[in-house]
A and B are shown apart, each in its own frame.
Chain A
Amino acid sequence: MKLPICWLKEFADIGDASPEDVAASLLRVGFEVEEIIYAGADIENVVVGKVIDCKPHENSDHLHICMVDVASEILQIVCGAPNVNTGDVVPCALVGARLPGGVNIKAGELRGVTSYGMLCSGAELGIDDTVIEGAEVDGLLQLPKDTPLGTDIRKVLGLDEYVLDVSVTANRPDCQSVVGLAREVAASMGVKFKAPVNKYRTVPYAGEYMPTVAIKSDICSRYTGRLIKDVKIESSPKWMRDRLRLVGVRPINNIVDITNYVLFEIGQPLHSFDVRFIDKGIIVRNAAEGEKITALDGKEYTLSGDMLVIADSSKPVAIAGVMGGEYSGIMPDTSSVFLEAARFERRSVRVTSRRLGLRSDSSARYEKGVDYGSVDEGRERALALIYKLGAGKIVDVKSDAGVPEPEKKVIETTAAQISSVIGIDIDKPSIEKILRSLDIKVEGKGDKLICTVPVYREDIEDYADLSEEVIRYYGYDNLEPTFMKSASCTLGGVSEKDKRSDDVKNILCGMGAFEAMTYSFVNENACDMLRLDAGDARRNVLKLRNPLNEDTAVMRTQLTHEMIATLALNKSRGNDDFRLFELGRIFIPAAQGELPEERTALSIGAVGKDEDFYEMKSMVNAVLGYFGAEARMEYGSQPYLHPGISADIFVGEERIGSFGEVHPTVCENYGLTGKAYIAELDLEKLLAMPRGDVRYSPISRFPCVNRDLAVVVDDGCGVGDIMASIRQACGSEIESVELFDIYKGEQIAAGSKSLAFSLKFRSLDKTLADADVQKLMTAVIDRLKADYGAQLR
């Protein structure tokens, strides 16, 4: 909401308070001032000057050499304007002046003659005829001859003004107006509030055509119309034009300007119809389904049954609260005006405006909420201005419909109740004083406070709302910090799931991975980039109805896409050796209208010269190990992974994840150069696994025996499988098996490999004798022969 200080002064006795003081007083009571705008910020060092001598430049056919009196001195200025003459009073940009568009004026030579400044046109000052007459002529802006010389041009143009851009919270539509804010400023600064006084005279009704009004929809609770005859369309006075420009409205003509002026001053949207185009009476009704109207913007709109129109007996003439129809506007020959002031439901205006994609100052205002009171207030203000400006004759006839005003809200409370929410005792007289300064009528009977709320304060419903009004003005700085002295003791804490998630993060950090956080939505083509099959469940995604762009179109069903993209981004920036992980949610669509399933997933990514499948496997195993999950691995099935350098992880029969080297085609899809390793695990199942009781198992006191074993097996045999067999063959007396060599080549048959293991044996009950160990070794060798056709080497 734009609040010009000069306009504010009409209603709040703020004296010489600076814009900063006013801004601070608003901030104190809950209105943030986003910006203090100086209207003349673009113009500097331009003053009024008089051309006292003007002669043609000897070396030019169009330049003139002028002597200009700017009160403090007389300047020689070379001027190229066609309309320069001795005696002209014009804007003069001094040396060092700044003009709109960042133009800086310096002393300079023009064909041998030095010019100490520049005489300006309206265009050069960035203004048009609505600011001052003559601003649009081709040539210098001719100012009235009696304008005092040396005056700052911003004063002459009405630009020496400050405007506050006030942010008004959604509960205070009444403050979307100069008068509403003036009331708050006055109360906050403790100065007088001067309510608008509306005086006008009417002419007797002489049987002129006056549309009747009927409301046939509950979207409109009040509709009032007045007839203005003998309308004289002309431009509005300078003070009104200046103020409209300060709030960003382009002046048009007196009638339109008055409706706009009232919209900003009182907060009541008005509409002025040319009576010639209203056929019989006004009917406020819902649009017929598919009914069409061409609005003032020249476009045709198709309406639906829940939209409200202002219609006459044959056609809709306006989309209620949004925009008038094409013939409803004021024209140069308009002589009789039907002035509308009405209250439409904000919800309806909002929906209509959004659905039609049609916004106006009026719809913006209605969307925020127009109260009952402002209908009369706004209309009376407009009539007073029409009278004051002599824009037409107000006919003593009314067309009103609907409820004039609802019952006033009365809240019965006590000082103690109001204080109870705040936590400090505020005495009854202070409360009464504050409430009264806000136009709330207070009757004190004993302990009781009986408060009658003004109609425009629709936000005040019970004592808590009054508490807010009181503390807002009493000052939050007066609160004493306390520490819930009346509260019961509660047991707080983090869920088991969160604790375990944190543990997983710490484990991965310890293994050198950095935590990443990516958006929860991805491009719909993510599944294509990952080469997922047409029938892959992950292609079933939740779509956003209103995404920002295609990269945020669907909720993710996996974390891999963003992990690979993040690896690629880092590599493209020259980061080529690092590990990342992300723990985040994936979204599995449920039935229509139901919330999706949100599952916690983990992704890990790694690039770098020391990274390989086994490094990634060690991280995956660390996570699985933390949960104590009995996992089984098989060659990978995921189309985004290298088929021979990847694995699927199974817990029970369920695949809970996969990891391995990223498929070269996928790398290409993401612009990822070199090799990359990635893992994704569905943590939901692991996080839900019961944390097993940890019990001590005895540690053997007896010495260990080490043996090495070398066998030759078929190349296809898995080392992990062989090691499992070795353990199984030995039972409890084997402590560890480690692979220390794999050899292929000379002395080993093609298609075979030699594996060397070191085995450590230990018994819980005794020192193992040579014979015992020999027996175990034999068992191992027999087992490997049987299972893998292994040859001892």
Chain B
Amino acid sequence: MEEQIAKLTEDCSAEIASAASESELYSVKVRYLGKSGLISELMKGMRNVPPEQRPAMGKIVNEARSALEARFSARGKELHDKELADRLAAEKIDITIDRNRPVGRLHPLSSVKKRLVDFFVSMGFDVMDGPEVETDYYNFEALNVPKDHPARDMQDTFFIDEGILLRSQTSASQVRYMEKVKPPIKMISPGRVFRNDDDATHSPVFHQLEGLVVDKGITMCDLKGILDMFAKHFFGKDTQVRFRPSYFPFTEPSVEVDVSCAMCHGAGCRICKGTGWIEILGAGIVNRKVLRTCGIDPDEYTGFAFGFGIDRIANIIHSIPHIKLLYENDVRFLRQF
């Protein structure tokens, strides 16, 4: 009997090893270890074993059974792993194929405006929105530009009616704001402006951001401080800021502000037209007359104002060569930002 067991164990082990699949292994298991399997059949032969040997024999059979079960289990796991691995291998796909749910993007002018707004809001600036169709009073007169003043020639304005126009500058929001809010004032007003000017470098519609600070003891140095910080934030840490004397009717003194060219770092290139500097905004100390018009005492308060073109900043940041590209809305353009 012992021999039979040994033979059976050996045969079974061989069949376990050669089983090629989980199902084949299962049928082997049934044949050997099943209720009427070969081991059970063998156990029937126990009757012929002398009673005193039965316990020992039983032990041998049970050990053989356990050993085989362990082998079945080990081989079963092996086959299972292999089959899973084969299946996974067979399920392999081509991951280079794309199925895109495209995600849209903000217009570059929107995202640049948002960055600008975030920058100034973080310093306590309030954001003001003004009408795009504006009165002559807010766009010009209250800003110290009386009718037929030559300064009006600086801006070709679209007119709707007597005294009503498309605002040519976001500075129009200054007076509206100061009529409502008294110092301390920190305000920006981003928005759309219009000028009757349409050529390769001008669009009749563009965007500006006006800034205004009015408080006690505000100086030109404060203007330089904030614009320095602004320039470094937007154009890089090494950016230099240069003030040049200029003229705006609503500021005195007035300056044009240049930043060092981020492309060539001052060496001179196409972007800065060889000068090393890029003109980005106009600014100055709020004209005393404007403060007075808004009911703010210019002997008590001073302020500075600045205004720049969002389109221009966007074009510089993104190296966009023509302002017109911004308003064409070709999706191949819009996808890039």
Contact = CB atoms under 8 A, between A and B. Distances in A.
Given A548-B196, A580-B331, A367 B244 contact: no
A512 interface: yes
Interface in B136-166: 147-151, 153-154, 158-164, 166
B252 interface: yes
Nearest to A470: B253
Interface in A547-575: 547-548, 552, 555, 566, 569-570, 573, 575
A578 interface: yes
Given A170-B149, A479-B224, A593 B104 contact: no
B104 A512 contact: yes
A593 B164 contact: yes
Interface in A641-674: none
Contact of B204 (A367, A519, A570): A519
A514 B105 contact: yes
Interface stretch (A95-103, A491-499, A624-632): A491-499
A234 interface: no
Interface in A485-537: 485-495, 497-498, 502, 505, 508-521
Interface in B21-46: none
B328 A569 contact: yes
A543 B121 CA distance: 36
B120 interface: yes
A106 interface: no
A490 B184 contact: yes
B234 interface: no
Contacts of B123: 492
A490 B334 contact: no
A240 interface: no
A702 interface: no
Contact of A596 (B129, B133, B192): B133
A30 interface: yes
A486 B214 CA distance: 11
Given A472-B253, A545-B159, A578 B226 contact: no
B131 A514 contact: no
A140 B288 CA distance: 65
Contacts, number: 259
A464 B252 contact: yes
Contacts of A742: none
A580 B147 CA distance: 42
A421 B253 contact: yes
Given A423-B220, A484-B225, A514-B105, A542 B160 contact: yes
A492 B186 contact: yes
A170 B106 CA distance: 39
Nearest to B185: A490
B162 A515 contact: no
A594 to B, nearest CB: 8
Contacts of A569: 328-330
B106 A505 contact: yes
A471 interface: yes
Contact of B192 (A173, A514, A520): A520
B114 A481 contact: no
Contacts of B218: 484, 486-487
A464 B284 CA distance: 11
A138 interface: no
B171 to A, nearest CB: 15
A476 B256 CA distance: 11
B243 A476 contact: yes
Contact of B285 (A464, A505, A544): A464
A424 to B, nearest CB: 6
A541 B221 CA distance: 47
B213 A346 contact: no
Contacts of B210: none
Nearest to A489: B124
A129 interface: no
B287 interface: yes
Counting chain A residues whose Cβ lies within 8 A of the other chain, the interface size class is: 35 or more
Contacts of A482: 219, 221-222, 224-225
A292 B197 CA distance: 34
Contacts of A544: 158-160, 166
Interface in B97-138: 101-107, 109-110, 114, 117, 120-127, 129, 131-135
Contacts of A464: 252-253, 285, 287-288
A592 interface: yes
Contacts of B104: 508-515, 579, 581
B247 interface: yes
B330 A476 contact: no
A467 interface: yes
A574 to B, nearest CB: 9
A189 to B, nearest CB: 16
Nearest to A172: B247
A267 to B, nearest CB: 14
B205 A520 contact: yes
A570 B110 contact: no
Nearest to B130: A598
B314 to A, nearest CB: 11
A578 B101 CA distance: 11
A546 B216 CA distance: 43
Contacts of A351: 148
A169 B246 contact: yes
A495 B189 CA distance: 12
Interface in B248-291: 249, 252-256, 285, 287-288
Contact of A512 (B103, B184, B252): B103
A454 B129 CA distance: 42
Contacts of A493: 121, 126-127
A368 B194 CA distance: 24
Contacts of B58: none
A488 B215 contact: yes
B160 A169 contact: no
B192 A578 contact: no
A131 B110 CA distance: 56
A575 B213 contact: no
A483 interface: yes
Interface in A461-482: 462, 464-465, 467-468, 471-472, 476-477, 479-482
Nearest to A584: B192
A495 B330 CA distance: 31
A580 B219 CA distance: 45
B86 interface: no
Contacts of B160: 542-545, 555
A492 B124 contact: yes
B253 A517 contact: no
A422 interface: yes
Nearest to B214: A487
A223 interface: no
A369 interface: yes
A495 B222 contact: no
Interface in A427-461: none
B198 interface: yes
**Of B102, B185, B198, B226, which is in contact with the most chain A CB atoms at under 10 Å from its CB?**
B102
B330 A573 contact: yes
A171 interface: yes
Interface of B: 101-107, 109-110, 114, 117, 120-127, 129, 131-135, 147-151, 153-154, 158-164, 166, 184-186, 192, 194, 196, 198, 204-205, 213, 215-222, 224-226, 228-229, 242-247, 249, 252-256, 285, 287-288, 302, 326-332, 334-335
Given A516-B107, A545-B160, 8 more contacts: A28-B245, A169-B246, A369-B150, A471-B220, A480-B221, A486-B217, A578-B102, A598-B133
25 contacts: A351-B148, A422-B221, A462-B288, A468-B253, A479-B220, A487-B215, A492-B123, A493-B127, A508-B104, A509-B103, A509-B106, A510-B103, A512-B103, A515-B104, A515-B105, A515-B110, A518-B327, A544-B159, A544-B160, A569-B329, A578-B102, A580-B329, A581-B104, A592-B161, A595-B135
Closest 10 CB pairs of A and B: A423-B219, A30-B245, A423-B221, A468-B253, A169-B247, A486-B217, A476-B243, A509-B104, A481-B225, A488-B184
